[in-house]
Amino acid sequence: MNTPSVPQVDAQGSLRHLLTVDGLPADLIREILDRTATFLPDPGAPPRKVPLLRGATVVNLFFEPSTRTRTTFELAAKRLSADVLTLQMEHSSKTKGEHDLDTLFTMQAMGANIFVIRHPDNGAAAYFADNAAPDVAVLNAGDGSHAHPTQALLDMFTIRRHKPDFTGLRVAIVGDIRHSRVAHSDIAALRTLGVTDIRVVAPAPLLPDNAATLGVHPCATLADGLDDADVVIALRIQHERMQQALDISPADYRRDFGLTADNLVSLKPDALILHPGPINRGVEIDPDIAYGPQSVVLEQVRNGIAVRMAVMAMIAGARSGA
């Protein structure tokens, strides 16, 4: 695929696409988080339904299956009163790129305004944005191991609600850092917002090669990584990865890297635990931790709708000059 050339922020500093957290100015991230707060339902109240995208057409193009991410984008668009189409796309390596463009051009001609792209290839969302019509926006819902910006934004929003000052935070990310678009986008967002102490905890084959460039501290053991941490982000581990890259059992992974009551005994009482979901119960996290008092896993889900509503509303506003 070509190198993307379309900027995701326009000359006025407004959001045009959301492709990656890398390069997003801190002020714009904070503006998205502020806007997100306006879309949160009041406690005990039903979700808000607003007419901001009435008449707009949001197309979910999912080249990878993902019930959860698809559902949150669908609900966010519906609560903004948009018409929503979800296309589960087959992706063949033979026709990739060109065939994807035919789909883009066709859906644009149907009047689609916002494309939500989930794709196994790094850079796919930028490739769509690079080829999209000027009045069309692209949101990256996860491309390969590259980026998952709405997940990172909802993670930042969730952390900020509990720990408003990012500058002194100590954050540990536990799991398959190397292959995780969530980790890459979380690290970029945390650094942009001023976090200087980011630890990555994983078996050696799952640690990133470029930890220094990323600005993170690799830790070989959970005890090292969690020491004095304010925030712990657990990542989903794939069963194939354990078998192939690691050759360890789920039970062994849990013993060494799982968020379990035993492993978290010395965690600070006010530390937050995050997980992007869906969880592998009893592997990277135990259910009593995932639904325990320090976990904000379900807040992440709730906030995920609001952050996607905020991003779509901001992009639609920038497009219409509002």
Contact set with its own copies (CB under 8 A): 41, 44, 46-49, 54-57, 67-68, 71-72, 74-75, 78-79, 83, 85, 87, 98-99, 102, 105-111, 113, 135, 277-279, 281, 287, 291, 298-302, 304-305
Strand partners, 231: 171, 272
CA distance 164 to 185: 19
CB nearer its own copies, residue 220 or residue 291: 291
Q: Is 236 among the annotated ligand-binding positions?
A: yes
CA distance 198 to 130: 32
CA–CA–CA angle 311, 313, 315 (5° rounding): 70
Nearest distance, CB of residue 319 and its own copies, angstroms? 9
CB nearer its own copies, residue 57 or residue 260: 57
For the sheet containing 57-62, what is the strand order? 83-88, 57-62, 114-119, 137-143
Nearest distance, CB of residue 230 and its own copies, angstroms? 23
CB nearer its own copies, residue 67 or residue 167: 67
210's tokens: 């470029």
CB nearer its own copies, residue 121 or residue 286: 286
The secondary structure of 221-249 as a DSSP string is SHHHHHTT-SEEEE-PPPHHHIIIII---
Q: Is 225 among the annotated ligand-binding positions?
A: no
Nearest distance, CB of residue 38 and its own copies, angstroms? 15
Which candidate, 169, 207, 211, places its Cα nearest to that of 190?
A: 169
Q: Is 178 among the annotated ligand-binding positions?
A: no
Q: Is 319 among the annotated ligand-binding positions?
A: no
Q: Is 142 among the annotated ligand-binding positions?
A: no
Q: Is 241 among the annotated ligand-binding positions?
A: no
2's tokens: 């070509």
Annotated binding site for carbamoyl phosphate: 68-69, 118, 148, 151, 277-278
